Homo-oligomer: A and B are copies of this chain.
Amino acid sequence: MRSASAEPDTGTRARIRDAAVLRFAKSGFGASVRSIAAEAGVSPALVIHHFGSKDELHAACDEHVLAWIVETKRQNMGKAARGQLLEVLAQADDMAPLVGYVLRSLQAGGSVGRTFVEHMIDDAEQYTAEAVADGIVRPSRDERARVRYLVYSSLGALMLSVTMNPPEDPEDVNAAVRAFTDDLYLPMLEMFTEGFLTTRRMLDDYLLYVSDPPGTGGEAEDTDGTAA
């Protein structure tokens, strides 16, 4: 039942799907079927006729955007390194609606956003492993946790920035992304290069704490820290 390759990317159905992606990116997933139909230049009934329901249309959009993501990644393997995937994606200006769609899905906790984050984490883990091997990046006590922290931080910061300063014309998502990176590239680089704290005390204290938590004595203590 995979319709990914069975159907062409032209024709009315694809036009409706693209209009839906655009409208969802612009107005969120609450956008009405009627507005999507208007954008595609068809009747609302035809939208339902082709996709069955709004939810299935949403799912079709998710699938389409996801396929686009993996394709773009495949073509930009090298450039996408060091977690700059989003910036690479945003460079192709005509792809801006898809970036907006991803951000909407991130915001709504949709499946596209979820798998997008997972992809980014998996990729970043691979890239940082290479960078550590090359001596460019310091090793971590928990590589997976660090990668998750980095992805959540950068993606979350971007998301928050776009939410707080939404572009007037939603076509300009990439402009917003660029403004974000322009603003925060220096402090990020500073943090990455020089760190933030001058003393190791907090880190050492924490390491001591997790390796030998308070209340030691051999009793089976659960991991919940409510008693602390």
Interface on A for B, CB 8 Å cutoff?
30, 106-109, 113-114, 117, 135-138, 140-142, 145-146, 148-150, 152-161, 163-164, 166, 182-200, 202-203, 206, 210, 223, 225
Contacts and interface: CB of A to CB of B under 8 A. Distances in A.
Given A156-B157, A158-B156, A163-B106, A145 B184 contact: yes
Given A148-B183, A163-B106, A197 B137 contact: yes
How would you classify the secondary structure of chain A's contact residues: helix, strand, loop or mixed? helix
A203 to B, nearest CB: 4
A109 B176 CA distance: 15
A174 to B, nearest CB: 11
Contacts of A183: 145, 148
A185 B163 contact: no
